[in-house]
Amino acid sequence: MRLELVPRAERSTAMALVSPVIAIGLTLIFGVVLFASLGVNPARALYIYFVEPLTKAWSLEELVVKASPLVLIAVGLAICFRANAWNIGAEGQFTAGAIAGSVLPIYFPDFQSPVLLPAMLVMAMAGGALYGAIPAILKNRFSANEILTSLMLSYVALLILDWLVRGPWRDPGSFNFPESRLFNASATLPLLAEGGRMHVGILFGLIIAALAAWRLGVSVHGFAIKVTGEAPRAARFAGFDQKRIILAVFVIAGALAGLAGIAEVSGTIGQLRPEISPGYGFTAIIVAFLGRLNPLGIVIAGLLLALTFLGGEAAQITLGLSDKVTRLFQGFLLFMILACDTLIAYRVSLKFGHRAAGVTGTADQKMVSNG
Amino acid sequence: MAKAGGSEQSDRGSAPLVHTIGLTKRFGELIACDAISFDIGAGEIHALLGENGAGKSTLVKMLYGALEPDEGTILWRGEPVRHSNPAEARSHGIGMVFQHFSLFEALSVAENILLGLPPDEGRRGLADKIRTISREYGLPLDPDASVHDLSVGERQRVEIVRCLLQEPQLIIMDEPTSVLTPQEADLLFVTLRRLAAEGRAILYITHRLSEVLELAGRATILRRGQVVATADPKAESAASLAKMMVGADVAGVERPAASVDGSAPRLQVRNLSVPADGPFGIALANIDLDVAAGQVVGIAGVAGNGQSELFDALSGERLADSGAIVIDSQPVGDKGINARRQMGAAFVPEERIGHGAVAVFRLSENVVLTHHGAGEAVAPSGRINRHAAREVETRVGERFDVRRSTDDPRASALSGGNLQKFVVGREIDRDPAVMVVNQPTWGVDAGAAQTIREELVSLARKGAAVLVISQDLDELFEISDLITVISDGKLSPVYPAETLTAEKIGLMMGGVHHAHDGLQAATDGGESGHAA
């Protein structure tokens, strides 16, 4: 007996949209089992994870603050994935952007000017874009696998950040804590409302998602990305240069991740630290897939994954659950989405073969070939 | 003398070697094989005849254990058998030579053969065995030769010898001559007759009627997954077999005489050389060719002799020297495909899905694929105009009778023939000045093939220069005014189609380019036909 995946003749469009919902449902069932086995009341745990953060104004704000870097990064990743370029290194591009964008406020702490923030944003995007270009160039030049190079470069960026804030960029007045000096007021993204947590940076995600949805839909550039992902040979036939497109999507994704990085540092945190991201760059991969690689779907998916971060923090405090439970949740959600997508494209069929006959078959074969 | 399939074995005395009863295979909605019953006797050369998509390959894959039937029984010497994989089929004595070879180019002949044998088969004495068998059956092979040095015909010998080493009683051959020159095919037929004379059965899959008439003792004809007849080829003609295969009389293409005025050719190829792409690619060497307005020029050749390289160079998917390709007196050799499209050129590649069209895209999106860069209404200034693309899709669909189940379906929802009509029609709709088509009717049903051929001829007669690369000689004779042959990346001189026969083209396919056999080259200039 063996399992076989048989391609379905017709893929259901409705199912493709419903699949994230099924995946979320299955993940919740998984959560019940997980919490029960950890000795926690599943109903209470799920409430704390997924409902409580939605009941308070401050946590709703926090939800948006956490969703915005996810959306920014995931839109860039979706563009890469559409072009069949597997950028797994958004965490590194996020970090590179945060570093590049922090150069001015760290080296010129007294420089205050309205052009400072725009300059920081541009430098962050350039830093992320350049860092994103490395795996693309390696792929185009040497056919190096971009999954490996982009992932490994993430750790390089994280270690560079670690070295910077422990070494040359450490705030002299930080009592040896590994952190940079605090950014001055004109290097900090302004808040949307006084006293709140939401800064201007959260608008970036919405603007970029809308822009990307529009460009992917109607422009020849968006068309080129989709053709390259679906059929590289047809893309060449259409006159699109595959290498240029690979480079372009990596640069776009890197720039967006870099923008998310500086928005997080200058908007939410206010200084550089060894840990500026709870894994946004990796979680954004899940956001991209949960949002069906569609920029508008990504906005919704970004909010949902931000909820797991918030709920995870709450569960850590209230239930004493490890923050690893959150990563487990996120990982299981991705697994379920991919499983649902596979079952939409393929149908599982049980084959009752006869392995035993195969064994006698070899014996027969020997006879035949010796005979 | 055709009679309905299924009940003929009763009058054949002892049990046949293979007998299938009601063999059925479904792929989703499609019934690839619908209750197929037929039989093959020992020592028989049995042709399995049908158009592309008739179910021939599916049927033999079930016999060979590569696919499991959904319903029905296979009787092997009267005993029901189930092969869940090819190894089991081979153990019963069923061997198969595939149309597409599965050889490792970097390994030697003996190493390749060893890989295909059961794991406990020793390599000791294998080289001698290969020599003996290949000599006995007239398939000369050097066991130590590297496969990438072998010609296509020699590679096929490797596959056949590998099959013979397993002492098969039934040998299935899937369109073996599609990669051979006529001369190589004749040699293959000698081998097949010898194998049959030894009492082995041969199931010979083809859609070439002449081969059935020449070789087969009986022929089973499939149409849309069903057996329509089992015929005695000696009592049939090519026309009557074609009628059974297609289900209707097949009309030829009407080809009015070309009227070529004295103006400069619309497509000129001058000393085009392109290096091989990768170790096993074919380099193009010093190709010269002219296609005038109003002409259809055909390029014949055995697969893998540089056709796709030539197409890529002509289309601009690979670039060459500026002056190597000239469209309407403008050098374009170093310009990309869209620059050439803007000058009025249009291209149809060999592969429909994945090259000429994207399977998951709707037809209108596939219109954008080739129209966006040609300065047309479909994508003015970088923005796609869906409405204009839909208009083209509808117009092409109606004019070329592309059968679509819904408005603007995905390309993958169309049958091969319908998609090919769309892909060709999409380019003809642009009213091109120069049209380059690679394998215009490959894998297409007869009706669609005729439509496409007629449209290509009429496009030329309206003043376009049409270049057709094809492996189908009958097709080239039907539509071409001039024919040349590509062999190992080089072109033969160009000859008027009327002065050529299949045999002469066969000689040129083998690389005999010069006019030793008294052929008169077509061009008015030099005797080589290359206007250098």
> What secondary structure does DSSP assign to B474-516, as a single string?
HHHHHH-SEEEEEETTEEPPPEEGGG--HHHHHHHHTT--SGG
Q: Is position B253 within any domain?
A: no
* The CATH classification of domain A41-315, taken from the options 2.60.40, 1.10.260, 1.10.3470, 3.30.70: 1.10.3470
Domain co-membership, B322 together with B428: yes
- Per-residue pLDDT tens over the stretch A260-312: 999 999 999 999 999 999 899 999 999 999 898 999 999 999 999 999 889 88
**pLDDT at site B32:** 84
Give A317's contacts (C-beta < 8 A, 6+ positions apart): none
Q: Find residues 315-374 of chain B whose CB sits inside 8 Å of chain A.
A: 315-317, 336-338, 341, 347, 349, 351, 353-361, 365, 368-370, 372-373
b/e per residue, B61-84, with b = 16+ CB within 10 A? bbbbbbbebeebebbbeeeebebb
β-strand pairing of B325-327 with B267-274: antiparallel
How close A31 gets to chain B, by Cα (Å)? 36
Instruction: State yes or no: pLDDT of A118 exceeds 70.
Output: yes
> Looking at the complex, does the CB of residue B27 fall below 8 Å from at least one CB of chain A?
yes
How close A363 gets to chain B, by Cα (Å)? 8
* Best of A5, A365, A366 to mutate (most B CBs within 10 Å, chain B): A365
Locus of tokens 């990596």: A250
Domain co-membership, B446 together with B347: yes
Q: Which residues of A touch B (CB under 8 A)?
A: 8-10, 218-221, 223, 226-227, 230-231, 233-234, 236-239, 351, 353-354, 357-358, 361-362, 364-366, 368-369, 371
β-strand pairing of B330-331 with B345-348: unpaired
C-alpha to C-alpha distance for B320 and B318, rounded to whole angstroms: 7
Helix ranges (H only) for chain A are 13-37, 42-46, 57-82, 90-107, 116-142, 146-166, 201-218, 220-230, 232-237, 242-263, 280-290, 295-318, 324-345, 355-370
* Candidate from A9, A238, A362 with C-beta closest to B28: A9
CB-based contact B485:B508 (threshold 8 Å): yes
Residue B431 structure tokens: 């009213």
| C-beta atoms of A361 and B356 within 8 A | no
Q: What is the mean pLDDT of residues A158-177?
A: 91
Locus of tokens 């019953």: B37
Give A359's contacts (C-beta < 8 A, 6+ positions apart): none
Q: Is position B256 within any domain?
A: no
Domain co-membership, B501 together with B356: yes
- Alpha-carbon distances, residue B61 vs A175, B64, B89, B174, B317 (angstroms): 76, 5, 10, 10, 36
Residues lower than pLDDT 70 in chain B: 1-14, 28-29, 52-53, 119-123, 246-253, 259-262, 278-280, 510-532
Kindly report the CA angle at B184 between B180 and B189, in degrees rounded to 5? Answer: 105
Domain co-membership, B213 together with B360: no
Residue A33 structure tokens: 């089992």
Locus of tokens 């130590």: B144
Domain co-membership, B307 together with B233: no
What single letter denotes the amino acid at residue B363? L
How close B123 gets to chain A, by Cα (Å)? 13
β-strand pairing of B18-27 with B94-97: unpaired
Domain co-membership, B88 together with B109: no
Q: How many residues does chain A have?
A: 371
How many contacts (CB atoms, under 8 Å) link A and B? 106
Q: Is position B17 within any domain?
A: yes
Q: Of B495, B532, B401, B414, nearest to B455 (Cα)? A: B401
Give B400's contacts (C-beta < 8 A, 6+ positions apart): B421, B422, B424, B425, B428, B451, B455
> Looking at the complex, does the CB of residue B274 fall below 8 Å from at least one CB of chain A?
no
Q: Is position B313 within any domain?
A: yes
Domain co-membership, B210 together with B79: yes
What single letter denotes the amino acid at residue A343? L
Q: For chain B, what is the domain count? A: 3
**pLDDT at site B273:** 94
| C-beta atoms of A233 and B355 within 8 A | yes
What single letter denotes the amino acid at residue A48? I
Question: Which residues in chain B touch residue A242, judged by CB atoms under 8 angstroms apart?
Answer: none
Helix ranges (H only) for B12-141 are 56-63, 86-92, 109-116, 126-136
**pLDDT at site A219:** 94
* Best of B358, B366, B426 to mutate (most A CBs within 10 Å, chain A): B358
Q: Of B506, B504, B511, nearest to B521 (Cα)? A: B504
In three-state secondary structure terms, B268 is: strand
Domain co-membership, B192 together with B278: no
How close B240 gets to chain A, by Cα (Å)? 35
- Alpha-carbon distances, residue B307 vs B316, B471, B496 (angstroms): 14, 9, 20
Helix H, strand E, coil C: the string for A160-193 is HHHHHHHCCCCCCCCCCCCCCCCCCHHHCCCECC
DSSP for A70-104, written as a single string: HHHHHHHHHHHHHTT-----HHHHHHHHHHHHHHH
Q: Is position B260 within any domain?
A: no
**pLDDT at site B127:** 86
How close B338 gets to chain A, by Cα (Å)? 6
Domain co-membership, B116 together with B89: no
What single letter denotes the amino acid at residue A232? P
| C-beta atoms of A239 and B349 within 8 A | no
b/e per residue, B320-340, with b = 16+ CB within 10 A? beeebbbbbeeebbebbbbbb
**pLDDT at site B200:** 93
| Per-state percent for chain B, helix, strand, coil, to nearest 5 | 35, 25, 40
Domain co-membership, B237 together with B305: no
What are the residues facing B290 on neighbouring strands?
B268
Q: DSSP E strands: which ranges in B304-425?
A: 325-327, 330-331, 345-348
C-alpha to C-alpha distance for A267 and A273, rounded to whole angstroms: 14
What single letter denotes the amino acid at residue B389? A
C-alpha to C-alpha distance for B324 and B307, rounded to whole angstroms: 17
Task: Report the run of H or E that residue B203 belongs to, with start and end.
Answer: strand B201-206
**Can you give the CATH number for the domain in which B330 is found?**
3.40.50.300
Question: Which residues in chain A touch residue B354, judged by CB atoms under 8 angstroms apart?
Answer: 231, 233-234
**pLDDT at site B7:** 40
C-alpha to C-alpha distance for B143 and B129, rounded to whole angstroms: 9
Q: For residue B133, what are the domain limits?
A: 105-156
| C-beta atoms of A230 and B359 within 8 A | yes
Residue B253 structure tokens: 């293409």
Domain co-membership, B136 together with B175: no
C-alpha to C-alpha distance for B440 and B311, rounded to whole angstroms: 12
What single letter denotes the amino acid at residue B308? S
What single letter denotes the amino acid at residue B104? F
How close A112 gets to chain B, by Cα (Å)? 41
C-alpha to C-alpha distance for B474 and B502, rounded to whole angstroms: 9
Instruction: State yes or no: pLDDT of A332 exceeds 80.
Output: yes
Q: Is position B523 within any domain?
A: no
Domain boundary among B116, B136, B156: B156
Q: Of B279, B252, B265, nearest to B525 (Cα)? A: B265
How close B358 gets to chain A, by Cα (Å)? 6
Domain co-membership, B222 together with B358: no
Q: Is position B355 within any domain?
A: yes
Count other C-beta atoms under 10 Å from residue B30's C-beta: 14
C-alpha to C-alpha distance for B500 and B496, rounded to whole angstroms: 7
Q: Is position B149 within any domain?
A: yes
C-alpha to C-alpha distance for A76 and A97, rounded to whole angstroms: 14
Q: Of B171, B90, B175, nearest to B442 (Cα)? A: B175
Q: Of B156, B192, B186, nearest to B44 (Cα)? A: B192
- Per-residue pLDDT tens over the stretch A51-99: 988 998 888 999 999 999 999 999 999 999 999 999 999 999 999 999 9
| C-beta atoms of B165 and A227 within 8 A | no
Locus of tokens 């197929």: B36
In three-state secondary structure terms, A298 is: helix
CB-based contact B445:B53 (threshold 8 Å): yes
C-alpha to C-alpha distance for A32 and A46, rounded to whole angstroms: 8
Residue A201 structure tokens: 């940076």
Query: Is the CA virtual torsion B269, B275, B280, B281 positive or negative?
Result: negative
Question: Which residues in chain B touch residue A351, judged by CB atoms under 8 angstroms apart?
Answer: 68, 84
CB-based contact A208:A68 (threshold 8 Å): no
Helical pair B109-116 and B126-136, crossing angle rounded to 10 deg: 100
